[in-house]
Structure 1
Amino acid sequence: MLTFHKKVTGTALLAGIMALTGACGNGAEPGATKKSDAPAAKDKAVEISFIHWRGEDVKSLNSIIEKFEKENPNIKVKMDIFPSDVYQSSAQAKLLDGTTGDVFTSFPGAQFESISKAGLFADLTNEKFVSNFNKNLIKSGAKDGKQLALPLQLVYNMPLYNVDMLKKFNLEPPKDWDGFLAMCEKLKQAGIIPIALPASDIGIDQLLNSMMMNNAPDEQIFQKLEAGQAKLTDDWWIKTLSQFKELNDKGYIQKDSLGTKQDVAIAMFAQEKAAMLATGSFHIATVKAQNPNIKLQVLAPITVPADKMVYEGIHTTTFMLAVNSRSKHQAEAKKFVEFLSRKDIAGQYGNETGQHVTVEGVDYTSQELKDVAVWATKKTRFQPRYLISNADIQKSLKNSIQATLGGKKPEDAAKEAQAVVDQQIKLMKSN
């Protein structure tokens, strides 16, 4: 667990990650704080725990926390940040005793469903600050008529691309699969890696959405998969795996993508060795920090003929702010969520981290954020992967793509993934 109070150096961050890795092996939680069951004295500050996965946002959030503590001198915020994969697998367990994650964030989809089922979301439905958000962008945090979480980020989960690089070669974002392949080939012939794909961590989770969005335009496809009404051995997923294989076999993805983590892929893209970065708009600020002169936009591979295209891209509302129902400091926790939802604070967060936010009336000062905002008028699909409620089924999709990139035939990779789906369906029916 990485604990941040003010500023964290790169060395301290690395040390924290090493400490976290060691902790995972023995179940310990470095930096965990024992809290007293007794109520705090009026003249003593209450400390609330805030946990999430966005390590790249620490500088902005530290500044925001300092402002909050100045306005609320009797509330202190202890922020703990975890790698996203660790957060997805362990956050719920950390919430159970109420001493960690008075305020916490959730991913939509499987994690949200699991935490909701465990009853760990405090109901925010009647809180006044809910009206600070665009009501159409917080639906992923609602369940059974209650607003359980408030997504703060509006993300476009599509590859970033280097605008000037495409212009240099007289290229525009393609409108069909043949055009996408032709663009990649031209870039490859020029000695440029078309796609930097961090396939060992988040890259596949992101790219699979736009790769399958038009192959299976039915927005209920993953609900049908979990119900046994669709299969990964059907044409839509075989085609998606085959197109991943085609990109890989033609050298349009960098070598050893399965061994490439996001930091390496980001550096490759920022150094202009690659034309596209297969993550999403959430990495704009990180890329710009490494290359301030790069001009960025997003695009989605269109995997069908232009006249068969239904969706132009992918969006997600995530970083869902929530209050732990088992917290002893819910009033203070809600005060912090309210602070984060203020237009000026959400604007600071969005502009400093390169994120679009779901709070109404925010003024974006970053040119990239202004440019990417055009996607709000396009036909985008909510990230399909997050509509899978079962984490093992979600993982089986990623595993099938990794297997395909590793050389397995798409049909065989799909068959292995479907076996996992069938097993999970049986388990769900038996429970």
Structure 2
Amino acid sequence: MSRGPRADAARRDWGREEEGCSILHVDMDAFFASVELARRPQLRGLPVIVGGAQRGVVLAATYEARAFGVHSAMPMSRALRMCPQAVVVPPDHHAYHEVSVGVMRVLGDVTALVEQVSVDEAFLDVAGARRRLGAPTVIAQRIREQVREQFGITCSVGIASTKFVAKLASGHAKPDGVLLVPRAATVDFLRVLPVGALWGVGERTEQSLARWGITSVAQLADSDVATVQRAVGRVAGAHLHDLAWGRDPRPVTPGREEKSIGAEETFDQDLMDLAVVETRALALADRCASRLRAAGLVGRTVSVKVRTSDFRTLTRSRTLTTPTDVGREIFLAARDLLAATDLGGLPVRLVGVRVEGLTGATSSARQPTLDEAVDLPEARADGRRRDAEMAMDEVRQKFGGGAIRPGSSAPASRLATTFVPADLS
């Protein structure tokens, strides 16, 4: 859910003037938390926070927790001081990814013009789907019903003539609602908003505009563009002035490519034992590999991020001979990078693994290794490992992301698999 400023007057009913309003912005409501509630219905109605323990940050919070001021990216320690009665649930990124893929599949059944902008939101251009499915508000209701029925979560939909206004409308529709902003009402809708509601206006930009007496979208729109440019810069000023008048020519662009896939973990306590850090890196590499396979991608570059107890962040990367989506291969590269990182004798606060240089798994040109060319046992073993990891993916899809994980009790050359209970209590 967006934490951008709102105006109550913007939520009034604009009627059914849907002509020219073919852009939908679909945004899942408190996505991570909603997925957890769908898995744990006994927690509904309670303040629930998804995130790490005391040393982590809030990834998502239910609306009951948000009523106490809790929001995403907040340090967990602060969130628990604000809402000590909250139920804290550790994140299950595999489960969130699976639901995200399913939701995007629902949107893809509506139109091919789907632009996914994050794990829980996307733009659609439904101009070509109106004859088949009906008016945009009808399509929005269809999407919301299917998402609720198939995944047990809710979403909010904004409908407008531009992407920018559709995104604002979905924020005003939360939670679990639809808001249409007719083309003719766009400027009126925008003028009642504070300037901080505009796309790209963060705290510093808001302060710069305020120094010129601009605190609302109406004041921004009525200001000379040169004045706005003096406040925030030439390019940004012209862009914000256009937005204040509802001008946003950007089309919905499907097929946004993933540039990298990664995962990281902040530890409850700083770790001195690098073997334990490696074990956590193994789980992170497995998570990255699972996401790669689900997206039909392979990656060529593996990078690690390490944050020491003095908050110094170190990154190292290695380019593989051939692209991969196998967790073991990602882990072995990450392990070598960790071993080569000079931590200055300090304990580790955070570790992360990321795969970059992504290409399609089917289109990626792969040069066979010498072992593969002569069909040596090691090459056959690599194929079996990938088959085993794909089987793990199927178990997770059926029983949840925590149902199975790679084990670290065996040497790295013979990584085992450990089954753990899929406890959703």
Q: Greater strand percent: which structure?
A: 2
Q: TM-score, normalised by structure 2?
A: 0.26
The TM-score normalised by the length of structure 1 is 0.26
**Which has the higher Rg, Structure 1 or Structure 2?**
2
Relative to its length, the structure with more helix (as a share) is 1
